[in-house]
């Protein structure tokens, strides 16, 4: 779709074209002045609310000092952010690469894994989402969407995602299949979202123990574990990082989206110094616009706000409330609810019903998106006020 000479994604009726004229907190306005309560956070980006004032002020202050960095050097705010971020992550994740977003972070992590292990094969999961370039697409793109873009990066195998519904026996079978792949000792890395699918919008949750068991098996066979927290990081699931739900430390964690609360383009892959140093020359870990000082200032202030306000606790509490509020409506148009924190999926009998509910809610002033098919994805800003949350839920409930 092209509007105003700009190419946009055509979501085939899943969304309304929305030219945003201004935004604040949990509200956005279109160019005609229509007010909308936002239940999307720009897809897990504005977790602290749109145009957060402290993040804005940090950008303004940094812009008066320096706006661009060097490929072969650092700016003080880059160093300060690297220290703050690694201290917020599990021990051992002590080195950051500069990137502009999630796709670049994942692509860099894949390069690191191949360069470090001297192996070529990669394992991903069907219907996980990791970005828009050829390796990141190959790690999760559905079979029906591959032909038009093929060939993607080779030597990438996809497994079925072991979601909650597979049960204990299904999870055991999954682990057997995974070990059969890993025991060949030719897999450089396993790449996965950390227990809930956010990118393609299914909000499917993994069977309990997914992270713990994949960590055990990847360590056993010398395979790196790359966890994509681009959509789940920064308090979205009720923890600062989703890996904290199972206390698992991956070899590399990819972060973007909410990293700067949408104020600047920035992403990173964080891992172990020993791994990054060994892979540096072959992987060419540079990015011209990765980690500009302005972006780092925004990211640093964003992290400080999350930590100061314990924003993950808001996510856990409000997410539980949303599910409790909507559960009594199961049995009509609404056939299922699943989620973690404020990453919540509403399942409908079919895609048509899901789309119709979304459109009706949009007309009444609620901006909510369809994740995939019959699944509506609720991702309000974690800081949404109780009044706006109630108003938004009332609009949604009216059409269920």
| Distance in angstroms (rounded) separating the CA atoms of residues 194 and 35 | 34
Strands 187-192 and 121-125 turn out to be: parallel
Buried b (16+ CB within 10 A) or exposed e, 253-289: bbbbbbbbbbbbbbbbbbbbeebbeebbeebebebee
270, two tokens: 């964080």
3-state SS, residue 347: strand
Please tell me the predicted confidence (pLDDT) of residue 368.
97
Residues 162 and 209 sit within 8 Å (Cβ to Cβ): no
Strands 27-30 and 20-24 turn out to be: antiparallel
May I ask the CATH class of domain 55-309? Answer: alpha beta
Please tell me the predicted confidence (pLDDT) of residue 4.
72
Please tell me the predicted confidence (pLDDT) of residue 274.
96
To which H or E segment does residue 314 belong?
helix 311-326
| Distance in angstroms (rounded) separating the CA atoms of residues 311 and 250 | 23
Question: Going by C-beta distance under 8 Å and a sequence separation of 6 or more, which residues neighbour residue 348?
Answer: 333, 334, 335, 354, 357, 374, 375, 376
Of the candidates 373, 132, 122, 157, the one whose C-alpha atom is nearest the C-alpha of residue 256 is: 132
For the chain, the straight-line distance linking the first and the last C-alpha, in angstroms and rounded, comes to 30
Residues 384 and 28 sit within 8 Å (Cβ to Cβ): no
pTM over 0.85: yes
Please tell me the predicted confidence (pLDDT) of residue 16.
67
> What is the DSSP secondary structure assignment for residue 100, as one 8-state letter?
S
Per-residue pLDDT tens listing for the chain (400 residues) = 666 787 666 655 556 678 899 999 999 999 999 999 999 999 999 999 999 999 999 999 999 999 999 999 999 999 999 999 999 999 999 999 999 999 999 999 999 999 999 999 999 999 899 999 999 999 998 888 889 999 999 999 999 999 999 999 999 999 999 999 999 999 999 999 999 999 888 999 999 999 999 999 999 999 999 999 999 999 999 999 999 999 999 999 999 999 999 999 999 999 999 999 999 999 999 999 999 999 999 999 999 999 999 999 999 999 999 999 999 999 999 999 999 999 999 999 999 999 999 999 999 999 999 988 999 999 999 999 999 999 999 999 999 9
Residues 336 and 361 sit within 8 Å (Cβ to Cβ): no
CATH number of 2-51+310-398: 3.90.1150.10
Residues 157 and 123 sit within 8 Å (Cβ to Cβ): yes
Of the candidates 201, 226, 199, the one whose C-alpha atom is nearest the C-alpha of residue 215 is: 226
Parse the chain into domains and list their residue ranges. 2-51+310-398, 55-309
């Amino acid at each position: 779709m092209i509007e105003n000479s700009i190419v946009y994604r055509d979501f085939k009726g899943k969304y309304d074209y929305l030219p945003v004229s201004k935004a604040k907190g949990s509200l956005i306005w279109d160019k005609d002045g229509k007010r909308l309560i936002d239940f999307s956070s720009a897809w897990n980006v504005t977790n602290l609310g749109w145009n957060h004032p402290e993040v804005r002020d940090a950008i303004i202050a940094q812009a008066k000092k320096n706006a661009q960095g060097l490929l072969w050097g650092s700016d003080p705010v880059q160093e300060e952010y690297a220290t703050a971020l690694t201290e917020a992550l599990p021990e051992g994740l002590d080195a950051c690469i500069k990137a502009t977003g999630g796709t670049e972070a994942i692509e860099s992590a894949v390069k690191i894994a191949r360069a470090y292990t001297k192996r070529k094969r990669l394992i991903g999961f069907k219907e996980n989402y990791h970005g828009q370039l050829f390796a990141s697409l190959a790690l999760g793109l559905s079979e029906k969407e591959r032909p038009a873009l093929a060939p993607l990066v080779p030597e990438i195998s996809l497994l079925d995602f072991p979601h909650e519904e597979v049960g204990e026996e299904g999870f055991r079978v999954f682990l057997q299949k995974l070990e059969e792949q890993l025991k060949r000792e030719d897999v450089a890395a396993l790449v996965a979202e950390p227990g809930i699918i956010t990118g393609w919008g299914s909000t499917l949750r993994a069977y309990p123990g997914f992270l713990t068991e994949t960590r055990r098996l990847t360590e056993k066979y010398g395979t790196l574990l790359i966890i994509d927290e681009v959509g789940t990081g920064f308090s979205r699931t009720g923890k600062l990082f989703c890996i904290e739900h199972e206390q698992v430390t991956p070899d590399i964690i990819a972060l973007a989206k909410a990293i700067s609360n949408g104020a600047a383009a920035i992403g990173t892959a964080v891992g172990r110094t020993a791994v990054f140093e060994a892979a540096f020359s072959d992987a060419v870990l540079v990015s011209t616009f990765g980690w500009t000082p302005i972006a780092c200032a925004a990211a640093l202030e964003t992290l400080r706000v999350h930590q100061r306000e314990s924003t993950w606790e808001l996510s856990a509490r409000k997410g539980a409330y949303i599910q409790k509020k909507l559960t009594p409506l199961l049995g009509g148009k609404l056939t299922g609810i699943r989620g973690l924190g404020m990453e919540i999926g509403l399942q409908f009998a079919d895609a048509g019903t899901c789309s119709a509910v979304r459109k009706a809610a949009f007309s009444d002033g609620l901006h909510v998106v369809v994740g995939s098919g019959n699944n509506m994805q609720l991702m309000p800003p974690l800081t949404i006020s109780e009044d706006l949350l109630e108003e938004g839920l009332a609009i949604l409930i009216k059409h269920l």
